[in-house]
Structure 1
Amino acid sequence: MKLQIALDRLTYEECFRILAQVGESVDIIEVGTGIIKEYGLGIVRDIKERYPRKSVLADVKICDAGKSESETAFDYGADIITVMSFADMNTIGACVEAAEARQKEVVVDLLNNKDPDVFDQLESIGVSSVSAHIGKDQQSGGAGHNPLFQELTTDRHFKVYVAGGINETNLDRYLDLNPAVVIVGSGITKAEDKKGKAGLIKKSLGKYN
């Protein structure tokens, strides 16, 4: 089970200061949508150059123009990209093809999707990774798991990422989805002892590997 740190709502300098503290504990570095909007994909390139042995995820949340959007993010050094599950299946399929051509990975973000047929559709176009994601605004509204996510506990074969206000105190509630990757944002980035918090969560995940 891997730990992914989500960098978002931070300055360029804060991103690198945090990574200098937690780099030993994290497996995947996520460059959040807000940071990409603020600083462009250049920050993805800069992080990959600084941390070449880490996987870097660009949370570009593609909705259209799947091939070109994917290729652009990969050109800037992303190892993993995201596409929204509500996008047209042709768009998602184009992202998958672009990723396969470069031996990269695409994660389909299930944010707010309630369509029970979505998993069959994604499997039919070769999607292998999905994100069971409770968004920032949903968290503030008190939303729990999307009931659709329970489908991931059945006979599905997706690599599952989980995200949504995760920290060391509520980690257990996400483990029923058998995730391959646990995404933690403010649970680390807003902690006073960021290095210690990242190490604690990484150690906790190690118990389930």
Structure 2
Amino acid sequence: MLQVALDRLTKDECISITEQTYECIDYIEIGTGVIKEYGMDIIRDFRKRFPDKRIVADMKTCDAGKHETRLALEAGADITTVMGFAHDQTILDSIQVANEVHKKVLVDLLQVPTERFARLKELGVELVSAHIGKDTQDHTAGDSLKRYDGLSEDFMVFVAGGISPESVQRYEKLNPVVFIVGGYITGASDPGEASCVIKGVIPKK
């Protein structure tokens, strides 16, 4: 499945790109930077505009798990993100809140040591994002992916980090259920066409 990541964009750009890509995307991710600029209102707006799509609020919660998770999910997100290096209690609280409303938490593994992965499973984490950060994509992408080998044995894996049609194959070995794609789509002259091109090369689950 395909998740479009809307970040470092204005609200109008986010809406326009979503409308253009609507037919080929499965998830809409409202990026951290967009949420910081527009708050929960943009999640509420997207819930009304795009009722048939699953919305991911990339909150990157590090603390105050109950509060931030409730904010995002009550605003209309189906999934909210919590950082894997957050305190165990933060992760537990976030999962508890999500379970109460039959929604999900996606744990971001950015800068999380591999020895913590087993603990995340113990905490009840189901969804993880095998994430290569924006600032390191050009330098460490190949090496960074190796640390995520075998994740799909314990979690449902989302993959993120400079994904394009040319790099999809590199991520396939992680057996992901969702490919998160940002710049390849949002920076394209025709985002709609770009989303359908990459959807066409993503393995179907």
Q: What range describes the TM-score normalised by the shorter chain of this pair? A: over 0.9
Instruction: Give the 3-state SS of the residue equivalent to 2:173 in structure 1.
Output: helix
Q: Structure 2, unaligned stretches of length 5 or more?
A: none
Q: 2:60 maps to which residue?
A: 61
Give the C-alpha shift of residue 113 in structure 1. 1.5
Please name the residue that 2:14 is paired with: 15
Equivalent residue runs for 1:37-186 within 5 Å: 37-116=36-115, 118-144=116-142, 145-152=144-151, 156-186=153-183
Please tell me the residue identity of whatever aligns with 1:86.
F
Q: Which digits, 9 at most, give the CA deviation of each residue in 1:31-72, with x for residues without a partner?
A: 000000111111011011100110000000000111111011
TM, length-normalised to structure 2: 0.95
SS in 1 for 2:130: strand
Task: Give me the CA root mean square deviation.
Answer: 1.2
SS at match of 1:56: strand
Shift of 1:168: 1.0
Kept after mapping to 2: 8 A contact 1:112/1:146:
no
> TM-score w.r.t. structure 1 length?
0.94
Question: How many angstroms apart in 1 are the aligned matches of 2:19 and 2:188?
Answer: 14
1:115-142 deviation line (CA, Å, top 9, x unaligned): 42x1211111111000000010011434
Give the letter aligned to residue 173 of structure 2: D
Runs of 4 or more off by more than 3 Å in structure 1? Answer: 140-143
Paired residue secondary structure (1:141): helix
Structure 1 vs Structure 2: percent identity of aligned residues?
Answer: 47
Q: Residue 169 of structure 1: SS of its match in structure 2?
A: coil
1:204 corresponds in structure 2 to 201
Shift of 1:146: 4.2
Aligned equivalents of 2:26 and 2:94: distance in 1? 23
Letter in 2 for 1:172: Q
Q: Secondary structure at the match of 1:35?
A: helix
Q: State the alpha-carbon separation in 2 of the partners of residues 59 and 111 from structure 1.
A: 13
Q: Name which of structure 1's ranges 134-143 and 36-45 shifts more when overlaid on structure 2.
A: 134-143
Q: What are structure 1's unaligned runs of at least 5 residues?
A: none
Q: 1:115 to 1:142 in 2, by over 3 A?
A: closer
Aligned residue pairs, count: 204
Distance 2:204 2:54 in 1: 21
Between the aligned partners of 2:204 and 2:51, the Cα distance in structure 1 is 27
Q: Per the alignment, in what secondary structure is the counterpart of residue 121 of structure 2? A: helix
Q: Secondary structure at the match of 1:149?
A: coil
